[in-house]
Amino acid sequence: MSQIRKLNDSVNIIGANLKKYRKLKDYSQEDLCRELDLLGLPMHKADIYEIENNKRLVKDFELKAFCMALKISADDLLDDTEKFFG
């Protein structure tokens, strides 16, 4: 039951890793929005905040765009997310 509760408290599992890699690249949330816009994916700073705080769902094409903008792999964004499953 605690596994389900942990998943239900989060809308996505990549939020912490997105924030980690954004900061490693020394990008502000606005910088990341600008990079995403260049890729054809307009996103607001509030969207990034909500994703990083597990309050917003992440679509598959958004995950791909994050990887392209940050020059990382999907595995990087999914690293250490097993904790969401128990």
Q: To the nearest 10°, the Cα dihedral for 32, 34, 38, 41?
A: 70
With a cut of 50, say whether residue 2 has pLDDT above it: no
Distance of alpha carbon 13 from its chain centroid, rounded? 8
Q: What is the pLDDT averaged over residues 73-85?
A: 92
Amino acid found at 2: S
Euclidean distance between CA atoms 9 and 20, whole angstroms: 20
**What is the pTM assigned to this prediction?**
0.89
Euclidean distance between CA atoms 77 and 73, whole angstroms: 7
pLDDT tens for 7-49 read 667 899 999 999 999 999 999 999 999 999 999 999 999 999 9
Write down the pLDDT at residue 1.
Answer: 40
With a cut of 70, say whether residue 4 has pLDDT above it: no
